């Protein structure tokens, strides 16, 4: 298995539930409405305090991941690092020399730490961050939000070349009304650095995997096995599926990254953990597709975990489960066990 990696997304959960540790290891935020009620100095002080905390959190999370086995050295950073970065009321604050120096220095340290320890990093803006829409203001806001994430990656040292060290910023295709040509047009609105970092993921509602494959020549595609299972009505993509080669080619020599999750435990309480969930049977039994979309707490289904093991031959995985690092560690242990049995 060629140096596979998997990891958790954004939030760290202490196994002992210690609240102090959770606060120390996770980002916080502040609303623009709250800042707007303060005088300018108080607003700046509040924002600067939140930013300083969040930057330290990024370093702590990366340090934690760097201390894990090599299989687990992958991490998605929170989009909340720099609250209000694109908001007009905060732009002057972020131009302040002291704050900008802090942001650049801390993010540079975080990036060096990740590279020194082989930690692969990513970011994933929220659903509203789209680069193709019938609404011009939505596109403008989406591009600005994406460029914010690009600045974070650039400050961390990932601003040169094509997806350096596997770093990337992932978004969904957005509303299907614009089609893939709309996404192509949106790519042209991004800076060169942003185009070198962007990846696009299919979803359960608008752009499915097959819809996005025509973009393989323009942007790396992120395979989400759970999204595809929902969108396709129950298909599990195997590594020998011909579409996998097109996904690999879209990354242009960089090891691809994929997403994995599974439906929530309470929906399938009596399900055999060694059998893949059957979408048709579940929906015929009355479970709604929108409920099947929800992510489980843990990677409880061993058959899906075995599917991940098969795909690790060509891709890394972000584990999108509610119990974050606890879930990804459980999956990693399964991968290790299967590897030991195979030897």
Mind listing the pLDDT tens digit for each residue in 32-48? 999 999 999 999 999 99
Q: In which band, very low, low, confident or very high, does the pLDDT at 341 lie, cut at 50, 70 and 90?
A: low
Instruction: With respect to residue 204, please indicate whether it lies within any of the assigned structural domains.
Output: yes
- pLDDT for res 325: 98
Instruction: With respect to residue 1, please indicate whether it lies within any of the assigned structural domains.
Output: no
Mind listing the pLDDT tens digit for each residue in 277-286? 999 999 999 9
Mind listing the pLDDT tens digit for each residue in 201-240? 999 999 999 999 999 999 999 999 999 999 999 999 999 9
Range of the domain at 252: 6-342
Instruction: With respect to residue 146, please indicate whether it lies within any of the assigned structural domains.
Output: yes
SS3 call for 191: coil
- pLDDT for res 326: 98
What percentage of the chain reaches a pLDDT higher than 90? 93
Report the interhelical angle of 302-311 vs 225-232 (nearest 10°).
110
Mind listing the pLDDT tens digit for each residue in 133-191? 999 999 999 999 999 999 999 999 999 999 999 999 999 988 888 899 999 999 999 99
Report the interhelical angle of 136-155 vs 97-116 (nearest 10°).
70
Q: How far is CA 39 from CA 46, 98, 109, 211, 322, in A?
A: 11, 19, 32, 49, 38
Instruction: With respect to residue 112, please indicate whether it lies within any of the assigned structural domains.
Output: yes
- pLDDT for res 324: 98
The alpha helices in 26-87, defined as continuous H runs, are 32-36, 40-66
- pLDDT for res 17: 87
Report the interhelical angle of 97-116 vs 40-66 (nearest 10°).
10
CATH of residue 194's domain is: 3.20.20.150
Mind listing the pLDDT tens digit for each residue in 263-308? 999 999 999 999 999 999 999 999 999 999 999 999 999 999 999 9
Mind listing the pLDDT tens digit for each residue in 57-100? 999 999 999 999 999 999 999 999 999 999 999 999 999 999 99
Structural domain count of the chain: 1
Burial (CB count within 10 angstroms: exposed 0-12, middle 13-18, buried 19+), residue 299:
buried
Contact between 150 and 99 under an 8 Å Cβ cutoff? The reply is no
d(CA 176, CA 183): 10
- pLDDT for res 128: 86
Burial (CB count within 10 angstroms: exposed 0-12, middle 13-18, buried 19+), residue 329:
buried
Mind listing the pLDDT tens digit for each residue in 308-339? 999 999 999 999 999 999 999 999 999 999 87
Instruction: With respect to residue 175, please indicate whether it lies within any of the assigned structural domains.
Output: yes
**pLDDT of 342 above 60:** no
**pLDDT of 343 above 50:** no
**pLDDT of 245 above 90:** yes
Structure token pair of residue 338: 């299967």
């Amino acid at each position: 298995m060629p140096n596979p990696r998997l990891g958790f997304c954004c939030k760290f959960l202490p196994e002992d539930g210690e609240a102090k540790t959770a606060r120390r290891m996770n980002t916080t935020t502040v609303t623009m409405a709250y800042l707007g009620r303060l005088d300018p100095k108080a607003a700046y002080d509040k924002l600067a305090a939140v930013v300083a905390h969040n930057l330290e959190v990024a370093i702590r999370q990366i340090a934690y991941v760097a201390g894990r086995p090599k299989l687990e050295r992958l991490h998605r950073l929170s989009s909340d690092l720099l609250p209000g970065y694109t908001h007009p009321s905060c732009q002057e604050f972020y131009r302040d020399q002291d704050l900008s120096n802090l942001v650049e220095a801390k993010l540079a340290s975080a990036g060096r730490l990740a590279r020194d320890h082989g930690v692969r990093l990513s970011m994933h803006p929220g659903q509203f961050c789209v680069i193709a829409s019938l609404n011009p203001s939505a596109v403008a806001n989406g591009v600005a939000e994406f460029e914010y994430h690009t600045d974070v990656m650039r400050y961390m040292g990932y601003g040169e070349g094509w997806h350096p060290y596997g770093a990337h910023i992932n978004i969904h295709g957005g509303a299907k009304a614009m089609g893939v040509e709309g996404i192509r047009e949106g790519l042209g609105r991004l800076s060169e650095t942003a185009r070198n970092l962007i990846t696009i993921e299919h979803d359960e509602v608008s752009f499915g995997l097959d819809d996005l494959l025509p973009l393989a020549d323009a942007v790396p595609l992120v395979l989400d096995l759970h999204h595809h299972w929902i969108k396709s009505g129950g298909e599990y993509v195997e590594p020998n599926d011909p579409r996998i080669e097109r996904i690999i080619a879209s990354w242009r020599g960089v090891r691809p990254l994929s997403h994995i999750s599974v439906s929530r435990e309470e929906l399938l309480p009596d399900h055999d953990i060694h059998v893949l969930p059957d979408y048709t049977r579940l929906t015929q039994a009355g479970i709604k597709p929108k409920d099947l979309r929800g992510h489980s707490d843990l990677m409880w289904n061993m058959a899906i975990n075995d599917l991940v093991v098969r795909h690790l031959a060509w891709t890394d995985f972000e584990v999108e489960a509610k119990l974050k690092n606890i879930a990804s560690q459980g999956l990693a242990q399964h991968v290790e066990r299967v590897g030991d049995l195979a030897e």
